């Protein structure tokens, strides 16, 4: 593991202290978890694959009778 420094506002430091105390872990562990959680949300790394999007009968929803589409709706 490698040590690094992080500059936080006073509000962020207080929040980090509270989170660590609540979880019963170190501030460093809270920051490591936060970095991993953030990485999972970065849009540039998302894979918007369309695999399987063409599976199915191949028809259009426009071909389904309106009565069938609305059956059970609002019950």
What is the CA angle 27-32-35, rounded to 5? 125
Number of domains in the chain: 1
For residue 69, the model assigns a pLDDT of: 86
Residue 27 counted as domain residue: yes
Residue 71 counted as domain residue: no
Residue 23 counted as domain residue: yes
For residue 58, the model assigns a pLDDT of: 73
Residue 65 counted as domain residue: no
pLDDT digits (tens, 9 = 90+) for 22-64: 999 999 999 999 998 888 777 655 666 676 667 777 778 888 8
Range of the domain at 40: 7-52
DSSP states along 2-69: --------HHHHHHHHHHHHHHTS-HHHHHHHHHHHHHTT-GGG-----TTTT-S----GGGS-HHHH
For residue 14, the model assigns a pLDDT of: 97
For residue 32, the model assigns a pLDDT of: 95
What's the rounded mean pLDDT across residues 12-22? Answer: 97
For residue 49, the model assigns a pLDDT of: 67
Between the alpha carbon of residue 72 and those of residues 60, 63, 65, the distances in Å are 20, 19, 14
């Amino acid at each position: 593991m490698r040590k690094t420094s992080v500059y936080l506002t006073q509000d962020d430091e207080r929040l980090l202290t509270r989170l660590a105390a609540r979880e019963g872990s170190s501030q460093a562990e809270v920051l490591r978890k936060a970095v991993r959680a953030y990485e999972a949300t970065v849009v540039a790394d998302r894979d918007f694959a369309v695999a399987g999007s063409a599976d199915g009968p191949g028809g259009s929803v426009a071909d389904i009778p309106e009565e069938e589409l609305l059956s059970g709706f609002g019950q």
